[in-house]
């Protein structure tokens, strides 16, 4: 497989073969093919294995801390590459890359997380930070902390993002209310909320596109 990879490129390898090689690098003793195939069968895809909760992976028979660390390192590297591409031009002009990045980062999470993209005056990405994690259907959001962080980063615009582990990105009443609160609080410091994106399973909801940014 190593020769196939080097001579013909990564497209020549099946998903289980890439996972098999990755596991072998973490635990070079033994045959990792059965484990690679079992993981893909259990989770549904190579991407789903990488994004599976760390606790769930650690508890998987045959996986140790070194293997789980290797999987999470690959996931982190992929997200860093996608994030670097986002920094190349204004985020609002690059919605396809933004959607792909957020889907990779959040769509398979089993609990809600609320993150904020902090933008500069040219709408380029300064930072992407998780502001809170919660349960399967709720994440506490602290308006004051979000605005304070924007001022610390000299950010002039924000994109709010959170996921719905249920897979349905339809906003709740609480989602609409917290969006209005954040928008009003940020406006006091001349910080604009460009959008609030809700990430579901294969679907995303945009407050801006649906005309909900100014609603309560």
What is the pTM for the complete model shown? 0.76
> What is residue 194's predicted lDDT score, i.e. its pLDDT?
95
CB atoms near residue 127 (< 10 Å): 15
Quote the CA–CA distance of 19 and 60 in Å, as a whole number: 15
**Phi/psi-derived region of residue 29, left when phi > 0, alpha when psi is between -120 and 50, beta in every other case:** beta
> What is residue 62's predicted lDDT score, i.e. its pLDDT?
87
Q: Determine which helix (DSSP H) or strand (DSSP E) holds 83, and give its type and residue range.
A: helix 65-86
Quote the CA–CA distance of 23 and 65 in Å, as a whole number: 11
> What is residue 201's predicted lDDT score, i.e. its pLDDT?
82
> What is residue 12's predicted lDDT score, i.e. its pLDDT?
85
Domain residue ranges in the chain: 2-79, 90-206
> What is residue 136's predicted lDDT score, i.e. its pLDDT?
45
Tens of pLDDT along the chain (216 residues) come to: 788 888 888 888 889 899 999 898 888 777 889 999 999 999 888 888 888 888 888 889 888 888 999 999 998 898 888 888 877 778 888 788 888 888 888 877 778 889 999 999 999 999 999 988 765 455 567 889 999 999 999 999 999 999 998 889 999 998 999 999 999 999 999 999 999 999 988 789 999 999 988 766
Quote the CA–CA distance of 100 and 104 in Å, as a whole number: 6
CB 35 within 8 A of CB 43: no
CB atoms near residue 176 (< 10 Å): 16
Q: Which CATH architecture has domain 90-206?
A: 3-Layer(aba) Sandwich (3.40)
> What is residue 138's predicted lDDT score, i.e. its pLDDT?
54
Quote the CA–CA distance of 139 and 145 in Å, as a whole number: 14
> What is residue 7's predicted lDDT score, i.e. its pLDDT?
83
The burial of 83, by beta-carbon neighbours within 10 Å (0-12 exposed, 13-18 middle, 19 or more buried), is given as middle
Q: Determine which helix (DSSP H) or strand (DSSP E) holds 125, and give its type and residue range.
A: strand 125-133
């Amino acid at each position: 497989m190593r020769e196939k990879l080097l001579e013909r490129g990564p497209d020549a390898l099946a998903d289980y073969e890439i996972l098999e090689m990755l596991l072998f690098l973490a635990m070079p003793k033994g045959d990792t093919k059965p484990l690679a195939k079992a993981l893909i069968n259990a989770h549904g895809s190579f991407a789903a294995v990488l994004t599976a909760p760390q606790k769930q992976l650690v508890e998987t028979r045959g996986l140790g801390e070194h293997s789980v660390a290797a999987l999470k390192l690959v996931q982190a590297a992929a997200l860093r590459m996608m994030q670097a591409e986002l920094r190349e031009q204004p985020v609002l002009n690059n919605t396809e890359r933004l959607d792909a990045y957020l889907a990779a980062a959040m769509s398979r999470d089993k609990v809600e997380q609320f993150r904020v993209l902090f933008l500069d005056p040219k709408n380029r990405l300064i930072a992407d930070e998780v502001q809170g994690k919660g349960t399967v259907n709720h994440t506490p959001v602290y308006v004051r902390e979000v605005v304070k962080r924007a001022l610390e980063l000299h950010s002039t615009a924000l994109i709010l993002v959170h996921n719905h582990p249920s897979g349905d990105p339809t906003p709740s009443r609480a989602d609409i209310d917290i969006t209005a609160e954040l928008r009003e609080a940020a406006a006091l410091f001349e910080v604009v909320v460009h959008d609030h994106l809700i990430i579901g399973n294969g679907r995303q909801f945009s407050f801006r596109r649906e005309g909900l940014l100014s609603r309560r």
